Amino acid sequence: YGGDALDYCLSRADPVKRLQPGNRIPHGRGNPVGIASLEMGRMELVYRLLASEAEVDSMRLRLNLITEREQSRIVNAVGDLSEVPMYIDDTAGLPISEIRGRARRLQIERGLDLLIVDYIQLVHGSRRYDNRVMEMSEISGTLKELSQELNIPVLAISQLSRAVEQRPTHRPQLADLRDSGTMTCLEPVTGKVLWQERIIGPSFSSPVCVDGRIYCVSRKGEVVVVKAAEKFELLARNKLPEGSHATPAVADGRMYLRTYHRLICIGAAK
């Protein structure tokens, strides 16, 4: 879904003036946008933008199965898009240090008001780490620092775990981000980070909060219970005999977990 997500994000961004039906791009307007496209090539991304602006099916555009009326819209869309200050870098496998350097250079030479990274799991850290969670922590932290340094928003697209598909609403949550493994407590009004701890590995399940306790399970079967409070407090830790992708259920002080082959109940310590 990465390409569709990037296309949707671009359609909502002011620099391309909302590339959805009914909204045209004003000539010579828009803010400079930099795109680090590690998944899609430059031409593939251009085809998507062109199809969106011209309001034609992207597959039919690729196969040149367009009508004469659509061809006229495509010609107009090419003219409009050529006026948009958008800079696409489709170099594969870029380390986060290189993305940071190229963004700095782009802001100095051309100006930069928005940076999009597609997608964050394809970015490499600046050095080798013992696990992917620590590497992702460096990458996300560097992007946050870059946003503050250049005074621009940085949009990092991420893969999600399959836990999203199991919910009736299919609405993603922070816990669905792949390769994260970091638990963060935010102040609900301001969004200020109260604490952030790397306590488990990557998780496909969502945390559950019951009676002032937060229950988390990693995909490798690590189980932790922390206190739902302004200060971090680890209450319990356990290890399952096998991994789990399912969100735990909590009732009467017990946690129920479904692993790959078992249903496990964990009770409170005596």
Nearest to 166 by CA among 246, 262, 251: 246
> Do 86 and 126 contact (CB within 8 A), yes or no?
no
Read out DSSP for 70-82?
HHHHHHHHHHHHH
Give the other-Cβ count within 10 Å of 210's Cβ.
Answer: 16
Sign, Cα dihedral of 78, 79, 84, 90: positive
Query: How far is 207 from 224, CA to CA, in rounded Å?
Result: 10
Question: The tokens of 213 are what?
Answer: 């306790």
Nearest to 121 by CA among 143, 88, 103, 106: 143
Show which residues are catalytic: 39
Sign, Cα dihedral of 230, 233, 237, 243: positive
3-state secondary structure at position 127? coil
Query: How far is 229 from 140, CA to CA, in rounded Å?
Result: 24
Residue 48 is given by DSSP the state: H
